[in-house]
Every structure is written in structure tokens, then in C-alpha cells.
Structure 1
Amino acid sequence: MIPVFDGHNDFLQRAVAAGHEAGQLWTEGDGTGHMDLPRLRAGGMVGGFFAMWVPDAETGDVAELLRQKENPPFDLPLPPKVACDQALPLAFAQASALFALERTGTLSVCRSAAEIRAAMDAGRIAAILHMEGAEPLADLDALHLWHAMGLRSMGFVWSRPTAYGHGVPFAFPSSPDRGEGLTDRGKALVRECNALRIIIDLSHLNEKGCDDVARLTDAPLVATHSGAHAICESSRNLTDRQLRRIADTGGVVGLNFNTGFLAPDGRREQFRGFDILLRHLDHMLAILGEDGVALGSDFDGAVMPADLSDAAALPRLTDAMLAHGYGRELVEKIAWRNWLSLVERSWGG
């Protein structure tokens, strides 16, 4: 079985919702969601980026929003900002949940590439603490506190504005060139993340914000869970120009499994087979090269393809890559080696 290191999952929301049963949810599973320890073992997943994410302050008519997203074309308004004092307790709860999983002895929160390798060698899940949207970040001093706790990767925005930048709205068909670039606080955050060697995630950030990061950063550019805009014209996907800019820095893009960001018609339907994922991978490989493409599932945060319904199904994807003509060395790069290389270059050793 080819190991998989994943660029993005939202399991921590499920863990918080489970409360005192979170440990059992993790170690035994309950048949819901996309991942738990038994399914990770079955699918060969050895680690990944575990995201802290804060839901919208005002959800509105959720059923209507979902209906629109399932019937392209659509262009949904950006949700309002979420205040730091609202976001912080939720982020703390999710970080606490991850450290509670570590106490089961089955997972390690990793702060270096060496710790990732040690966890993999010991058969523990190697977890990177990731912040998806900087709402819990009151200021740059708080960034240092989060770093001391283990934060090693962050996106400045989810798909709404923050004090640091502007996310893309959920829209199809749409360019990611929506809204202004980073704020002054966002530009300062780039520099501080570089100083602490925290990975900056471009996923969800609009095109001008991505350009600002590219101008300011001294690290490889990264998008943990995105797709190719040339295949699926979602606002959430990366244009060829953006992919080339990431390639120029030796960066990495993890392919998102969300059907709405994969299907050429933008529909969030559970299509069968792997042809669409392989089209995205082919396109990304042509621009980023063999060292720049990885996986970023969005497990527990999105609608998955029918044949990739949870983490246990990951061998079907790697088998499809092999059958498509990718050699084993390339499949291993995409499945796990490119993320580990990126971490080594971003964090050092």
C-alpha cells in the first residue's frame, strides 16, 4: 500500500462535537464522516494537516445556500467577518481536541520534519496543526503563542474577509480575482510567518492576496487543498498563472477532492471513477512538475466522489494513478513525499 500524507482535513470539528466521546470517535469510528483511525489505517494515510476552522457567525438559510451551490451557475455573497473574541474559543477547542487525540498514543502533533518521520516510523498519525482563517489571531504576539503551542501552517482567510485579507466567494463559473489584496496587517503577518517558518496556505485566498504573499514571502508558495481552474472554473481553484507562480518558488499544491471544485460543470455531485481527478493532476503536473503536486482531500469538510467516499478508499486513487501511467515513484511523490519535502524546505530538518 502506498502511504498518503494529506494536505487538509476538517476532522477536528467532528471531534469537538463529540465532546467526551472524541477519543472513541477517533480510535473506533462511528460510521459517519470521512475519517477516523481505523479508516486512516485501512487507506494508508500516515498523516496530514488538521485544520482549525471557525463557522460563520450568521449561517443564513443553509438549505438555500446548498441548493444554489448544487445548481450552477451561482455567485454567493461573502459571509461577514467573525470577531476574534467569537473565534478564539472555537479554535482553542479544536486545538485541544487534537492534543487530546495525541494522548491516545495513536497520533503525534508534529513541529518538525524529523517529528513527522519519527511518527511515521512509529506507526502514529503525523498531524500538523493548521489554522484555516486567521480570525482567532488577535495580533502578531498571539501568532507566537500559537506557534509555541504547535501551529505550523495557516491560511489567512477562509471564504470570507478577515483583518488580514479577503477570501474568494463560492462562485461558479468565476475567476479567483475577486476583491482587494492583503491588508497592512496581512502583509505584516506574512513577514512574521516567515520569521517563525509557518507555512502560508493560499487556498481560499483571492488572487490579489495570493500575489501579495508571492511578493513578500521568502518561502515556497503552498495551496493545501485547491484544484486547476482550467478544468473547473470555480473561484476556489488556481489559474495557470497562479500555478506557474507557485512552481517558480518550488511550491506545492494539494488536489482538493471536493466534487464541486473538480467537476467541469461545477456540480457537487458524487460522480464515479477517477477520470476527473486525473485530469486535474495531469494539468497540475504539466505546470508544477513532479515535485509540486500533492493531495489535499478536504475530508470531513466537503462532498467526496462516489469512489473516494472516505479515507479507507485512498488506495483506489493511488491504483488509478498507477493505471493511468504514473510510475510508482511519481505516485509516491504525489501521495506523500512532496508534502514531506515541502515541510523540510519550509521548516528546516
Structure 2
Amino acid sequence: MKFSFFDGHNDTLLNLYNNHKNDAESFFNTLSGGHIDYERAVNSGMEGGFFAIFPPPYTSLSLPDPEKFLTPEGYDVPLPEAVDPEACRKVTDEMIDLLYQIETNSNHRFKVVKDSNELEKTVQNGQMAAVLHFEGAEVISPDLSNLEYYYEKGLRSLGLVWSRPNAFAQGVPYRYPSTGDIGPGLSEQGIALVKKSNQFGIMLDTSHLNEKGFWDVVAHSNAPIVATHSNAYALSPISRNLTDEQLKAIGDSNGVAGVTYSVNMLRKDGKMIQETPIGEVVSHIRYIVQLIGAEHVALGSDFDGTTLPNEINDVTDVPKLIEALEKDGFTNDEIERICFRNWHRVLADTWK
């Protein structure tokens, strides 16, 4: 049986912006060096996903190599400094324009969706559905005065942080072995942002957020708790992954954890080794399903934003992962939930 899937997180806009001259038409060609373009995605069964805007105030993003920050037990990459919000706004606005130019150039094949009815109709019509997501809230003014502006521009999913601090919260550094219990919780502005996002119906993403910040979101949000691209700490004890207690809070809220294919977040040793079996992704999915149920697990690849296992070289290999789920004994109903129905549900429960 062939399954479609909805991807919980990709950085394809960043790839286009940095490596393909911010050219929307490139998305409809085969992108050398990238993980997603339109033809490969559609042929693989990708019905849509969260298209992230990550706004580094510089021309390219180079993640520090953990091997350069080794400790006796693993590694400890320093937390980057906060960045200039104005520089982030410029990049963000340009990438929003890029997303809508993709829609314009698509000949009705690609649509930015803003409510759950539009999402369902877009998928039923065979169009690719894109959710506009911010990976980090640097562009939002601390007084929230421009949140409505970005909502009107289509913002429907907001990650409070990337792995750096901002006015609202602090992200976790890449540290192994370590929980995410590093640094303070949400600021007063961060709590206000959670509540205002609830009012607008903007989904909040806790991936990259430290543990105290996560529990502040749980305390102050009235929407499902979501982590778009985070794995199980019990299987890979890296700071970016979620403890059992955090995963249970996601389940209790009727939320979703999107399992990422990032190799260092899959492996027990936390290393950036591409010779990581596809079975490690299945293991994280199985673990979370057994802990909180198949209705609370989804796919959150981090395509175009991370180092992948060789067996998931790009979006065309997602069917291999789905086949591995079938071989592991997941039912068709469970696979449909994991592949797309859980994302549809949590967005319908969040969006106004």
C-alpha cells in the first residue's frame, strides 16, 4: 500500500535562499545538493509540510562540528549569541516572498494554507500544501506589535527559539550527553507570546526549546503541545531530545512529536555518522508510540537542515521508511496517523 505523508519540518526555503539565488523557479527543478524539490517530493508521496523560515542574519548557516567541542563523555557546543532582530526581519520577509513566489509559479500545484479546511481541500485537490513556519521568534517584536502582521502574511506555526537565546526564551545548546534542562524558562514576553499565539491560532513548536521553557509552554498554553522535529531522549541522550515526562505531556495535551531523521538525534552515541540504519528512525517512532500512542507521533524530517542517514538520502527515501514501519508491524491505521493524519488533526485543533 502506498501512503502519502505530511512533513513536520524542512529547511528547503533556506536552501533555495542561500544556494539557489532565492529563485522560486528552482523549486520546480531538480535541486542538486538539496533534499526536497517539487518533483521528487510529489513522486515520493509528500502531500505537504511545514516550510520553515530560519533567519540567520548572515548569508549561510554553518552548524558547529560537535567533533571540535569534545568532552570526556561526548561534546558540548557553545550556545550561539542572540542575533540582530532587524537583520532577521529582512531575511524573513524575503523568504516569505520566496514562498509565495513558489505558489505563484506553481500553476496551482502548490498552495500556502492558512486554515484546516483549506489544508484538507488542497490535499484532496492533489496540490502540495505548505504551512508557513518560523524557526525562532527573533523577528517578533518583544511587545508583540507585529505578530498580527505576520499572521496576516500567513504565519501559522511558530518555533519560539532555535538553539540560541532571544527575547522570549532560550534554546538548548548541542550537548551530549545531556537533558534539555539548560538555562532559564520563558521570559514575561515569552509567556505573553504563548498566550497571544493561542488567541490567533498559531501553532507553537517546542523543538529547540530548553526544558524549563517547555514546561512554561505546558503551563500557559491552551493548545496542543507540539515538537515538530525532536526524538526520544531515552534512546539518544542529547539535549535536543525529549524526556519521557515531556513526551507524556505532549500526549496528555493531544499534541504531536515529529520524529526527525537527524543522525545525532537518532544514535545512542550522539555522533554525526551517516552510516546510521533506517531502523533507528523506526525505533524512535516505536518507542514514542508505546509511551504515548500512535495518535501522538508524526514525521518531522528536518530535510535541508541536518545530516541524514545514508538510507534516507532525500525525500525520495521516505517510502523506504514507511516500508520499514510496515515490516516492524505497524498497522495501516497507525501508519496513516504517523504519516499525515496526526498533523492534520493537531492543526485543526490549534488553528482558528
Q: TM-score, normalised by structure 2?
A: 0.94
**Residue matched to 1:333:** 337
Is 1:256–2:260 an aligned residue pair? yes
What's the CA shift string for 1:50-72, capped at 9, x where partnerless? 11112266999x68635337997
1:121 aligned onto 2:124: yes
Q: Which secondary structure does the structure 2 equivalent of 1:291 belong to? A: helix
Q: Deviations over 1:223-278 (max 9, x none)?
A: 00000000000100000010111111111000011001001110111125322111
Number of aligned residue pairs: give it: 347
Residue 229 in structure 1 maps to residue 241 in structure 2:
no
Aligned residue number for residue 169 of structure 2: 165
Q: Give 1:30 shift.
A: 2.8
- Aligned-pair distance for 1:124? 1.5
* Distance of 2:278 and 2:136 partners within structure 1: 30
The one-letter code of the counterpart of 1:148 is E
Is 2:110 the partner of 1:107?
yes
Q: Which residue of 1 aligns with 2:91?
A: 90
2:249 is aligned to 245
1:15 equivalent in structure 2: 16
Match of 2:296 among 292, 299, 303: 292
Q: What TM-score do you get using the length of structure 1 for normalisation?
A: 0.95
What SS is found at the alignment partner of 2:23? helix
- Give, as a single letter, the amino acid of the residue that structure 1 aligns with 2:340: W
Residue equivalent to 2:29: 28
Q: Match for residue 54 of structure 2?
A: 53
Deviations 1:259-299 (A, max 9, x none): 01001110111125322111111111112211100000000
Structure 2 residues without counterparts, runs of 5 or longer: none
CA RMSD in angstroms, aligned pairs only: 1.9
Match of 1:200 in 2: 204
Measured in 2, the distance between the counterparts of 1:222 and 1:63 equals 24
Q: Secondary structure at the match of 2:25?
A: helix
Q: Which amino acid aligns with 1:316?
A: K
Check if 1:307 corresponds to 2:311: yes
Fraction of identical pairs, as percent: 36
Is this contact kept in 1: 2:266–2:284, CA < 8 A?
Answer: yes
Q: C-alpha separation between the residues in 2 aligned to 1:305 and 1:257?
A: 7
Matched residue of 2:147: which SS? helix
Q: Is the 8 A contact 2:167 2:189 kept in 1?
A: yes
* Pairwise CA distance, 1:18: 5.0
Partner residue of 1:342? Answer: 346
What code does the residue aligned with 2:100 have?
F
* Alignment correspondent of 1:67: 67
Counterpart in 2 of 1:282? 286
Does the Cα contact within 8 Å between 1:3 and 1:45 map onto a contact in 2?
yes
Residue 178 of structure 2 corresponds to residue 177 of structure 1 = no
Gaps of 5+ in 1: none
One-letter code aligned to 2:32: G
Q: CA deviation at 1:107?
A: 1.1
1:6-31 residue CA offsets vs partner (Å, 9 max, x unmatched): 11000011222356672332111232
* Aligned counterpart, 1:77: 78
Amino acid at match of 1:102: E
Q: 2:197 and 2:63 mapped to 1: Cα distance? A: 37
- The farther-off stretch of 47-56 and 183-192 is 47-56
SS of aligned partner of 2:134: strand
Distance in structure 1 (CA, Å) of the matches to 2:36 and 2:337: 22
What is the CA–CA distance in structure 2 between the aligned matches of 1:64 and 1:84, rounded to whole Å? 22
